[in-house]
A and B are shown apart, each in its own frame.
Chain A
Amino acid sequence: MTSSMTNVLNRSQKKANRPSDEQLAAFGAELDALRERTLSDLGERDARYIRRIVAAVRYTEVIGRGLLFFGLFPPAWIVGTLLLGISKILDNMELGHNVMHGQYDWMNDPHLNGKTFEWDLVGTGDHWRKTHNYSHHTYTNIKGMDEDIGYGVLRLFPEQRWRPFFLGQPIYAIIFALLFQWGVAIQDLRFGKFFNGKKSGKEMLEEMKPFLKKTRRQLVKDYVIFPLLAGPFFVPVILGNLVANGIRNLWTYTIIFCGHFTADVQLFPKSVLKNETRGHWYFRQIRGSSNLTGSKLLHVMSGNLSHQIEHHLFPDIPAHRYAELSVEVRAICQRYGVHYNRGSLVSQFSQVIWRILRYSLPSRYVPINASA
């Protein structure tokens, strides 16, 4: 064995290193303490922050839509479309995603209630609360339970079996990115079951009702009402809305894929759930997530999902706190020898693209490591 190969092996062994049960118990206790300390400090500062985000969503939307009415003038169209895209990104990520986790429930403000909040996306809030808040956050990176692993269309891990279908994956990935909000919206409708006859058309239609209602509302808003308000200048408004939705789709796709599909993240078998301790649950969240390093702007625009690890550890703590929490989480991980996966957007997203390309091609099926 050459020394470089030994290094690679050591490196990957080190990353997959799982502390002993006693160590994990202490590890969990330290993270619990960090959580309690933060929760007890929530107050005015957090309320002010989320209201500033609400204001940013509202102002960018109004100015963006306003400029699009003058969309025949190209600079107005470009700035208007960008602002509307930014508004939709903030609404989806820093506001909607975080509020729907119940991060601001302690404020007791009916407009910021996790159970009732609705966002500017075709997917309904209720659907998201089920697939994301429950399935994805509880069963993070457990093969067969977390449906966010490849979203049912992509093979991103050698632990998924290869089929010839996946040869087209680079193309599907691009289509999926452009239509990301639609992909997420229909995730729980399980069209597969309908196509292979396990669900009747009537059942399918019944389940689709809330989605169709929300979709109609979104489409009428972006592609009928606002264009009509522009009168004869409706074409630039339609195009601006289309592009703004597209920008938001591409950006959210990029951020979310960087959160769980970078090179070093780990998958887990269902067996981990048996008697899983708090400490091991924390460990699984960390090993299944990866962070992005970057400026404050990146963190805000990603809804602080750039701190994916902290988000998975503490999904109900206001996300703007993750930056300060991450310093301590890293230190705790270091003490217990738990690999803390972080990198720049370029480096992490390159790893995602590599996975999309690599696993579109056949590779040896790796049975999932039961000792993880």
Chain B
Amino acid sequence: MMASQTLKRIVAPLVDPAVYDFWAQKISPTLSWDRCLARIESRHIEARDTVSLILKPNRQFQGFQPGQHLNVTVEVNGIRLTRSYSPSDTLRSDGRIRLTVKAIPEGRVSRHLVHHSKVGDVLELGAAFGDMTLPKEAAAWLLVAAGSGITPIMSLLQTLLQKPLEQPVALIYWARTRADLCFSEDLHSLTNRDPLLKIHTVLTREDHRLADELGGRPREALFRNLIPDLERRRVYVCGPDGFVTSVRGLLEPHAALFRAESFSPAPVVTRAGAPVTVTLSKSNVSVQVPSGTPLLKALEDSGLKPAYGCRMGICNTCSCQKQTGSTTDTRNGAVQNEPGPVRLCINSANSDLTLEL
């Protein structure tokens, strides 16, 4: 491994990664000079509109910590799109990763992964990020998940259960109906494994709940009944934005520690003229500019000097990578919420932006 790394450094100036990847991928579709590619090894229907994909990454994969998420890039109709998903399994000795994905109605990536991806397809993975990870020392835990927020929580739970528990652990898992519950079998078998583990499911739209299933939205009485020792629990929560906000209000003042992650909502689009913050990630500068004004002009008015040429969308000189945020093409009004190259002279901001400048 060390020797191959050294060899790679020596030959690097002679290698064009695009050419290397082209030929290497004739041998194996996940080989790459510098990108982490992963092959879908198998698919498993986990719940309604939800699949688990077992991925085999190439050697560029840097690993992850349970509870973190990965940027996953797939090509849909010729366009590479990136979304974050959490591995739903503990670190596996065979290097495989399990991603669990729920298709959401307008989600181009999630619908592609759930309904159209096949065994053998190749995805690109980014570095893992997120700070909802497990500390070394034992603690009493309360894990709260809603919907597909179960995925990082499942990874955390399985990692905790790799050793016999020393302190109590509880999972409260919200879903709409029983058909929407992921990992039902796994959760059942886990319940019997350790007397210190308690798992509660809460179904909000199920007509006929079973004896051990609860109902309703998050509320103080429910948490107090299930977790009388809330004050000593560390709480991790993952779910939709609104859910996380309400759980935060109920638990954060009482718990020993509170950390939460919500699915990133669509960029907040403001009305034209309202100020937005544009962050230039390479120069480490942030400026306030009016939304609705072509970015090139707006940045220049803030005293910055981005490269430009024709100022009419022809020459591509002012093009740069948009990392986050929503923009509008000022020529035709088309809105673009995806990361990707933008020409500053013919795009205006709809939301806060991060540009690779």
Contacts and interface: CB of A to CB of B under 8 A. Distances in A.
Interface of A: 32, 36, 39, 42-48, 54-55, 58, 100-102, 105-109, 111, 113-115, 129-130, 133-134, 137-138, 281, 315-316
A284 B75 CA distance: 38
Interface in B21-47: 21-23
Most buried by A among B22, B309, B316, B338: B316
Interface stretch (B77-85, B156-164, B188-196, B243-251): B77-85
A102 B342 CA distance: 10
A45 B78 CA distance: 7
Contacts, number: 83
A107 B315 contact: no
Contacts of A45: 78
A108 B319 CA distance: 12
B126 interface: no
Contacts of A58: 19, 22-23
A115 B310 contact: no
Interface string B206-235: 000000000000000000000000000000
Interface in B64-90: 75, 77-81
Contacts of A114: 316, 319, 341
A178 to B, nearest CB: 27
Contacts of B17: 111
B79 A133 contact: no
A43 B78 contact: yes
Contacts of A316: 313-314, 316
A137 B315 contact: yes
Contacts of B22: 54-55, 58
A170 B109 CA distance: 58
Contacts of A47: 75, 78-79
A209 B332 CA distance: 41
B341 A43 contact: no
Interface string B299-324: 00000000001101111110110000
Given A130-B317, A133-B316, A44 B77 contact: yes
Interface in B304-357: 309-310, 312-317, 319-320, 331-332, 338-341, 343
A316 B339 CA distance: 19
A107 B81 CA distance: 9
Nearest to B329: A39
A58 B22 CA distance: 8
A108 B316 contact: no
B314 A105 contact: no
Given A102-B319, A111-B21, A48 B340 contact: no
A314 to B, nearest CB: 10
Say which size band chain B's interface belongs to. 20 to 34
B316 A101 contact: yes
Given A129-B317, A138-B314, 11 more contacts: A58-B23, A102-B316, A102-B341, A105-B316, A106-B79, A107-B80, A108-B80, A111-B18, A111-B21, A138-B309, A281-B312
7 contacts: A46-B78, A48-B78, A106-B340, A114-B316, A115-B316, A133-B317, A134-B309
A279 to B, nearest CB: 13
Given A42-B78, A102-B316, A134-B315, A113 B341 contact: yes
Contact of B79 (A43, A100, A134, A138): A43
Contacts of B18: 111
B312 A138 contact: yes
Contacts of A105: 316, 319, 340-341
Contacts of B320: 115
A265 to B, nearest CB: 19
Contacts of B338: 108
Contact of A43 (B77, B313, B319): B77
A115 to B, nearest CB: 5
B216 to A, nearest CB: 43
A115 B81 CA distance: 19
The 4 closest A-B pairs by CB, nearest first: A47-B78, A134-B309, A138-B310, A102-B316
A93 B81 CA distance: 28
A357 B28 CA distance: 56
B319 A109 contact: no
Nearest to B336: A106
Contacts of A46: 78
Given A133-B315, A133-B316, A107 B78 contact: yes
Interface string B112-153: 000000000000000000000000000000000000000000
A156 to B, nearest CB: 24
A47 B343 CA distance: 21
Contacts of B80: 107-109
A108 B19 CA distance: 18
Contacts of B331: 32
Most buried by B among A54, A100, A138: A138
B315 A108 contact: no
A133 B343 CA distance: 13
B206 to A, nearest CB: 40
A352 to B, nearest CB: 25
Contacts of A129: 315-317
Contacts of B309: 130, 133-134, 138
A354 B23 CA distance: 46
B332 A36 contact: yes
A96 to B, nearest CB: 12
A327 B332 CA distance: 23
